[in-house]
Amino acid sequence: MIDMLFDQALGWLGYLQRPVVLEQLLLASLALVVAGSLRRRLPVPLPFAVRALPLLLLMALPLQLLGRPNGLVLLLAQVSLARIGLGLLERFVLEPRLPVDVFQHLRSRLLRPVFLLLVVLGLLNAVDTLSDLATVPLGVWFGSPVTLGTLSQVVVVLYLLVVGSVVPAAGLSWLSGRSLGLNKGSRRALELVLRYTMVSIGILWALYHLGFNRNGLLAVAGGLSVGLGFGVKEIFSNFISGLWLLFEGSVRPGEVLIIDGQPCEVRQLGLRATTLWRGSDNAELMIPNQSFFTSTTTSFTRSDRTRRCSLMLQVADRHGPRQIMEMLEAVAREHAGVLAEPPPKASLQDYGPGTFSYQLSFSVADPLKGGGVTSALRLEICETFAEQGITFQQPVA
């Protein structure tokens, strides 16, 4: 197959035997080199395509006047023009209207690759015919003849589906969320399920388009099952775990889990791993999906999003416990970050030599803010104790 394609490409070099082709390439190369060298000499920095376009047109002019073919130079000028158009579209239409991450995703994953693909196809169609190249046979796969055209079509469609399904899936999940009253986490889960569904349908279409018959699919499945037993077991396990988590809804984007004692928010449920964000150090954790099946996970958002927090303190035994407990509950009640229901609760935990141990429990609405509220309460307790002349007592070891 490679030999055949190489042989095909070698055949195109026959164009280089033609003076009319060589003179165009020479002039086009000259234009591109000059455009490159102008980069730092212009007072205003201009993109390469903007510098190259007028030079290419300038080079095409003498050929036109001499009645010589200049279509190759003009073809490169067209590519430059299209590149300028793409740049304008990105800069003045998309960038101001889209969030930064969406714009960058769209540009790097969709617009630029599609532009590059169209340029390559255009150049191939210039030296050959795409319809003929599409019929180049690549061999027989599982009893079905596969051509370069069908394979390329499948690769391009699958790529566009993987990259381009983001927007329609998000739109559908938003609509469903609005009509069904789903929360943010459920909407994001639905979005992922929709994307995986689209990609799965695309894969089935691809296999059908490639002409895979049932026997072929069974053979693939057989080979895959052997592979699963060895090399790709972990990957497959993580993939299935990811799908399971989505459908079960136990771990969804937006949920707050305790990982290594720290509350973390689930940001993205991927095919292989789940991405979590840890607020204490602004770190992103990539946790393999199967970890959620093999270890205990603490969630603060499984049935509701409130978190019960607590703090411990020791006070000298000369202060009455009832007075201390009322004071602690009053401080907690007055703090804006503490929920009124369930109410804050102080309790006497232990007697020590010269000290009493207390615990203050309270609820917060946002699990990720538990640490911040706890710290604020400690500060207010310190200030209140200082005003009342109450002293903390270090526990005696």
Partner 1 sequence: MALGLTLLAGCGLQRHSSLFLYEVVSSEALSVVNRAELAKLWAPLLNSYSQIDPGMKLEIMMFSEERITEELRRRQARGLGPDLIVISGVMANDLYAKGLVRRVTLPPYLEQALEPEVLGRVRVPGGYSALPVARAPEVSCFNRARMPRPPETLAELLSQAAAGRHVGLSLSPLGIWWSSGSLGADEALARLLTRRPGDTTPVAEADRRAIEGWLRWLHHAAMQNRVNFFNDAQDVNEGFLAGHLDWIPCSSLSLKRLRDGLGDRLGVAPLPTGPGGPPSTASQVRVVAFGLNSSPLQRRKAMDLVLLSLNPLVQRALSLSDAEVVPVNRYAPPPVASSATLKALVRSQSYVKSDALQSLALSSSDMRRISLVIERVLTPLVVGLGSTRQATEQLIEELPPR
Q: Which is nearer to partner 1, 21 or 365 (CB)?
A: 21
Q: Least Å distance between CB 46 and partner 1? A: 22
- Choice between 10 and 100, CB closer to partner 1: 10
Residue 384, Ramachandran bin (φ over 0: left; ψ between -120 and 50: alpha; else beta): alpha
List the structure tokens of 176.
């469903």
Nearer to partner 1, 24 or 80 (CB): 24
Q: Nearest Cα to 344, choosing from 355, 334, 357?
A: 334
Shortest Cβ 42–partner 1 spacing (Å)? 23
Report in angstroms how near the CB of residue 146 gets to partner 1 at its nearest: 13
Length of the chain: 397
Q: Which is nearer to partner 1, 134 or 258 (CB)?
A: 134
The string over 203-240, giving b where at least 16 C-beta atoms fall within 10 Å of a residue's C-beta and e elsewhere, is: eeebbeebbbeeebeeeeeeeeeeeeeeeeeeebbbbe
Question: Between residues 133 and 169, which has the closer beta carbon with respect to partner 1?
Answer: 133
To partner 1, the closest distance from the beta carbon of 18 in angstroms equals 5
Minimum CB separation of residue 12 from partner 1 in Å reads 7
What the block records as the tokens of 362 is: 């309270």
Using the minimum distance from each CB to partner 1, give the nearer residue, 131 or 179: 131
Which spans of this chain sit near partner 1 (rule: CB under 8 A)?
10-22, 24-26, 28-30, 69-72, 75, 126-129, 131-132, 135-137
Q: Which residue has the tokens 């055209």?
A: 149
Nearer to partner 1, 55 or 266 (CB): 55
CA distance 118 to 81: 13
**Which tokens go with 352?**
């020590």
β-bridge partners, 139:
146
Closest contact distance (angstroms) between CB of 15 and partner 1 is: 6
Q: Which amino acid, 34?
A: V
Encoded tokens for 212: 């895979």
DSSP-assigned letter for residue 392: B
8 Å CB contact between 273 and 287: yes
Give the type of residue at 371. Answer: G
Output the smallest distance, CB 207 to partner 1, in A: 23
